[in-house]
Amino acid sequence: MRQSINKKPSSRIIIVIVSIFLLFSGIIASLGYYYQKNGKVAGDTDISSQTKILIEYQNEFNNIFKGYLILSTSDNVLDDNFYSKTVSIKERLLEMKVPAELKESHLNSVLSLIEIENGIIAQDIDLVVSNIDKLRKIMNNI
């Protein structure tokens, strides 16, 4: 006794499977169209935006130090006013968005400001003046 199984799948099941297939195909196609239209992939940055960040960083860096190093003479580098300016500039530098190629210079400028703070607290004029010179060199390279 051999019975042949000739059951056909239900038309409802076929409709559900085809609908799910069409839904996923539509999602994939629309994502492909979106990325093709925008011309970017996730995490991709435009070169012009990197240049813009660099220019903005340089301008802001120079504006932060405007007047700071000009007024730094041996007469006033150990007073409280110069200390508060140093702390303020350090905090502003720490808040900045830094381009990759200037991270080392940025870090060195922050470290120099910390050393200046320590020199003012210790009333060590040599430490303060040597780090002011370092900051001038960093500013000339940025």
Pair 30, 66 in one domain:
no
Residue 64 identity (one-letter amino acid): I
* Residue percentage of the chain with pLDDT more than 70: 83
Structural domain range at position 28: 8-43
Pair 57, 37 in one domain:
no
Pair 83, 122 in one domain:
yes
Residue 3, in any domain of the structure: no
Residue 56, in any domain of the structure: yes
pLDDT at 2 over 80: no
Q: What is the average pLDDT across 10-38?
A: 86
Pair 24, 85 in one domain:
no
Pair 85, 106 in one domain:
yes
Pair 52, 72 in one domain:
yes
Pair 16, 35 in one domain:
yes
The pLDDT tens digits of the residues spanning 54-112 come to 888 888 988 888 777 765 555 577 777 888 888 999 999 888 888 888 899 989 999 99
pLDDT computed for residue 108 by the predictor: 92
Residue 126, in any domain of the structure: yes
Identify whether the C-beta of residue 113 lies closer than 8 Å to the C-beta of residue 93.
yes
Higher pLDDT, 35 or 57: 57
Residues 6+ apart with CB under 8 A from 104: none
Chain centroid to Cα 4, Å, comes to 69
Count of domains forming the chain? 2
Residue 114, in any domain of the structure: yes
Residue 116, in any domain of the structure: yes
pLDDT at 45 over 70: no
Identify whether the C-beta of residue 132 lies closer than 8 Å to the C-beta of residue 76.
no
Pair 64, 98 in one domain:
yes
Pair 66, 124 in one domain:
yes
How would residue 4 be classed by pLDDT, with cut points 50, 70 and 90?
low
Pair 31, 81 in one domain:
no
Handedness of CA 131, 135, 136, 137 (dihedral sign): positive
pLDDT at 6 over 70: no
Q: Which residue has the tokens 């968005």?
A: 97
Pair 32, 59 in one domain:
no
